[in-house]
Chains A and B, each alone.
Chain A
Amino acid sequence: MTPAATLAAAATTGPGFLSPTGVEIAFLLVGLATLGAALVTVTTRQLVHAALWLVVTLGGIAVEYLLLTAEFIAWVQVLIYLGSVIVLLLFGLMLTKAPIGRSPDADSGNRPIALGVAVVAAVALVWVVVDAFRTTWIDLDGPVQGSTKVSGEILFQHWVLPFEALSVLLLAALIGAIVLSRRNDPADAGDAGDADARDKGKR
């Protein structure tokens, strides 16, 4: 069946909300867990717990990718987000001497405004999205669309130039992070830039 025919059939006699498939039920349950973990992440007062709840959130999103048959993205998500980004965030929390216990000032003073903005945005977005895609179904049957083979083929056939540009960007970010986080000690007078000169003048 062609996609157009599928869409036409779905628009007229599509599966209803009252007869969800197993994939839909799994997606809904994992989505609820993900959303709950995300809410705990942004509301908890313990900074390290926020990072650990972020692990649950990102892992849930990886499971959602798997349910959407995007396998390669799911494992990239697990590798990069759960593997490196969370570790970076935990290192950042430790290096800024974040308090381990409950910190009373984790939230700033504009919390009610933030809550209002977020609720208004959520209501508007959900309303628009539900209204727009009420009669749209994803056809998850057929060949897997996000397997490693498919991803590799499209990435190295159609997206080679952005891919290579991205590697240059990653290199630039790496060097930038090293330069930014390097400690400007007075001892290493090898590169006496303006900052170093001012630094020594102050000391």
Chain B
Amino acid sequence: MHLAYPAVLAALLFCTGLYGVLARRNAILVLMSVELMLNAVNLNLVAFDVWLRDTLHAGQALTLFTIAIAAAEIGIGLAIVLMVYRNRGTSDVDRLRDTAEGHEPDPNATGDSTADTTSTARPEVAA
């Protein structure tokens, strides 16, 4: 098989994931796009491992490690997204602008850490 096929497919999948990471608003959709990028890298690793016929099979071993790390990453990422959702009432990455320059804390913003008395009805917001 021509090596360009898996390499081009991996590059295109990576760029699809890149577009998703940059263009999506929901944090969970961003995580899905990150999974796409990781899978593109895995495909590259496997293809080059099969091409090089490595005696250590470093590509396949690293693919397994990447899959395990991706599973850990998705667990931690989802836990963080859930905590942000409980504290802020939203999981849109556009609205999490506390550390952005030029977006000073808005007194009307829900769940800002500096604003103690928020006007939302969510009981978890104060946590």
A residues near B (Cβ < 8 Å) are 3, 15, 17, 21, 23-24, 27-28, 31, 34-35, 38-39, 41-42, 47, 50-51, 54, 57-58, 61, 64-65, 67-70, 72-73, 76-77, 80-81, 84-85, 88-89, 91-93, 95-96, 98, 103, 105-111, 113-115, 117-119, 121-122, 125-126, 129-130, 133-134, 136-140, 145-146, 150-151, 154-155, 158-159, 162-163, 166, 169-170, 173-174, 176-178, 180-181, 183-184, 199, 202-203
Please give the number of chain B residues whose Cβ is less than 8 angstroms from any Cβ of chain A in the complex: 73
A138-B1 CB under 8 A given contacts A34-B13, A111-B23: yes
Contact among A42, A65, A203 for B17, CB-based, below 8 A? A42
B56 to chain A, nearest CB (A): 5
Contact among A118, A122, A137, A162 for B2, CB-based, below 8 A? A137
Residues of B within 8 A of A121 (CB): 14-15, 18
Nearest-neighbor residue (CB-CB) of A111 within chain B:
B23
Contact between A169 and B69, CB atoms less than 8 A apart: yes
Residues of B within 8 A of A133 (CB): 2-4, 7
Contact between A108 and B14, CB atoms less than 8 A apart: no
Contact between B24 and A88, CB atoms less than 8 A apart: no
Docked CA distance A184–B124 (Å): 9
Give the number of A-B contacts (CB < 8 Å).
266
A68-B47 CB under 8 A given contacts A80-B67, A92-B28, A173-B72: yes
- Could you name 17 residue pairs across A and B whose Cβ atoms are closer than 8 Å? A24-B5, A57-B39, A58-B35, A61-B43, A65-B46, A70-B46, A73-B46, A80-B68, A89-B74, A114-B18, A114-B19, A133-B4, A136-B2, A151-B61, A155-B64, A173-B76, A203-B126
Docked CA distance A18–B98 (Å): 56
A65 to chain B, nearest CB (A): 6
Contact among B16, B25, B50, B91 for A96, CB-based, below 8 A? B91
Contact between B82 and A107, CB atoms less than 8 A apart: no
Nearest-neighbor residue (CB-CB) of A61 within chain B:
B39
Contact among B23, B42, B61 for A108, CB-based, below 8 A? B23
A43 to chain B, nearest CB (A): 8
Docked CA distance A166–B49 (Å): 21
Nearest-neighbor residue (CB-CB) of B92 within chain A:
A105
Contact between B28 and A177, CB atoms less than 8 A apart: no
Docked CA distance A22–B24 (Å): 37
Nearest-neighbor residue (CB-CB) of B14 within chain A:
A125
Residues of B within 8 A of A65 (CB): 43, 46
Nearest-neighbor residue (CB-CB) of A134 within chain B:
B4
Residues of B within 8 A of A35 (CB): 9, 12-13, 16
Near A by CB (< 8 A), chain B positions 57-106 give 57, 60-61, 63-65, 67-76, 78-83, 85-86, 91-94
